[in-house]
Each structure stands twice: as C-alpha cells, then as structure tokens.
Amino acid sequence: MDFLPKEINNYCEEYSQKEDDVLYDLNRKTNQKILRPRMLSGHLQGQLLTMFSNMISPSKILEIGTYTGYSAICLARGLKKDGVLHTIDINEELEYFAREYFEKANLSKQIISHVGNAMDILPKLNISWDLVFIDADKENYINYYNLVFDQINKGGFIIFDNVLWSGKVTQEINPKDKETAALVELAKILESDNRVENVLLPVRDGLFMVRKK
Ligand SMILES: C[S@@+](CC[C@H](N)C(=O)[O-])C[C@H]1O[C@@H](n2cnc3c(N)ncnc32)[C@H](O)[C@@H]1O
C-alpha cells in the first residue's frame, strides 16, 4: 500500500534533506537482499526521526525493532555527544548486516545491539530513557509501553510506528487479526492515559508520539 499519493510523496522527498550515502546504500541493499524491505522506515520518516532526535538531544535512546538498522542510525544522529542508543531485535540473522552500517555511519560505539526477544531483554536494561522508538511486534506494543514507562524520564518521549497499520485500524477488525486489535487498544490506552500528552501523526504508516508529563 502507498501511504501517500505518489506525486505528494515525491514532492515531500524532493524538498526534504536527501539520504546520505550510508542511508541510501542501506536502503538499497535492504531492498535487494533482505526479506520484507517495506519494514524499513525510509527517507522521509528517517529524516523526521533524526529531526525529532536532534530536537530532544537525548542521552539514552531505546529502540525495539532494529531490522537492518535504518531507524537506529537516524535516531542515533541526534544523540548527545556521549549518548548511547540501545536497539533490540529478535532476528539474529540481521545483526551482522546492521552492524556493518553502524560502522559505516561512524556510530558503532554509540549503538549497542541486543539480540533476542524484547520481552526478555527489556527487564534487564536498567536505564533511564529520554526517547523510546517502538517498531517491532504489534501484539506486544502495550506490554512494551507498560514495561518501559517507569524507566522513561519526566519529559521523555515514546514513538510507536505503524499505528495506522495500512488503514486497518479504521475498518472492521477480523477477529483473527490480533495485530490490528492490539493497535486500536493501544491508541485507546494512550489517549486516556493522563500521565502523557499524545499526538497521532499520519506520517507513513502512522507515528504515535507520547510525552511523559
Ligand atoms: C518493522 S521492523 C523494524 C524496522 C526498523 N525500525 C527500521 O525502521 O528500519 C520490525 C523488527 O522487529 C523485530 N521483532 C519482532 N518481534 C520482536 C520481538 N519480540 N523482540 C525483538 N524484536 C522483534 C523483527 O525481527 C523486525 O526486524
């Protein structure tokens, strides 16, 4: 599914900062070599993540769902000088591929990869986060929110990706479709949680941003 009419998307890309050589190559090689390349954040969303990260200037970022490392690089570019991004992915086959690009981006010291199920790894990371990007299995989004919430600094942010789920969240939900049901449930929880401020942005497949009060 195209998220925007092609000419609108092209226009936005034309007038947004271009991918540098590392991101361009990572995007291209992911599309050539890796299964399900549509999962990669891509040019516009990637630049937006870098912009957010630069605005927040975080010391500690958590990412759930590394895939080939595109969004990790985009987010890590806004880190404070000595800041660190921890990223988790369950797929060990992607680790080497992503690591190569962290090195090419000169970020290998600032990006720490964890391989395994985020539900197992998160309780072991005793870190206070300034920014959390959640982009993995949708059925666990609410669990991730509950697990990391207390570790987020006051004024810190969480961004959830794919919250529009190709528009399925606005349609009647098939009882077998656990992912869409989980995303709608998450939206309701975030909207009624008075511990956070929230905005759902129709960017790409939907970004839900919350700020801890
Ligand atoms: C949409 S992709 C992430 C894309 C990446 N953030 C980007 O924008 O380039 C989702 C990733 O989450 C990982 N994943 C799925 N379930 C997971 C789990 N339980 N724990 C950790 N990673 C998981 C998948 O292996 C996949 O690489």
Query: H or E stretch including 199?
Result: strand 196-201
DSSP state of 213: -
Reported as a pLDDT band with limits 50, 70 and 90, residue 1 is low
Reported as a pLDDT band with limits 50, 70 and 90, residue 66 is very high
Any atom of ligand 1 within 6 Å of the Cβ of 135: yes
pTM above 0.95, yes or no: yes
Reported as a pLDDT band with limits 50, 70 and 90, residue 190 is very high
Mean pLDDT throughout 142-154?
A: 98
Mean residue pLDDT of the chain comes to 96
Cβ 42 vs Cβ 27: under 8 Å? yes
Any atom of ligand 1 within 6 Å of the Cβ of 65: yes
Q: How far apart are CA 122 and CA 114, in angstroms?
A: 10
Q: Percentage of the chain surpassing pLDDT 90?
A: 97
Task: Please choose, from the candidates 15, 135, 29, 145, the residue with its C-alpha nearest in 3D space to the C-alpha of residue 72.
Answer: 135
- Report which protein residue has its CA nearest ligand 1's atom 1: 39
With a cut of 90, say whether residue 69 has pLDDT above it.
yes
Task: Please choose, from the candidates 177, 179, 149, the residue with its C-alpha nearest in 3D space to the C-alpha of residue 162.
Answer: 179
Any atom of ligand 1 within 6 Å of the Cβ of 74: no
With a cut of 70, say whether residue 199 has pLDDT above it.
yes
Which domains are seen in the chain, by residue range?
Answer: 6-212 (3.40.50.150)
Any atom of ligand 1 within 6 Å of the Cβ of 48: no
Predicted local confidence at residue 3, as pLDDT: 76
Place of tokens 């630069």: 54
Mean pLDDT throughout 159-180?
A: 96
Query: H or E stretch including 54?
Result: helix 43-56
Cβ 85 vs Cβ 65: under 8 Å? no
Q: Cα(64) to centroid of ligand 1, in Å? A: 6
Mean pLDDT throughout 161-177?
A: 95
Q: Cα(66) to centroid of ligand 1, in Å? A: 5
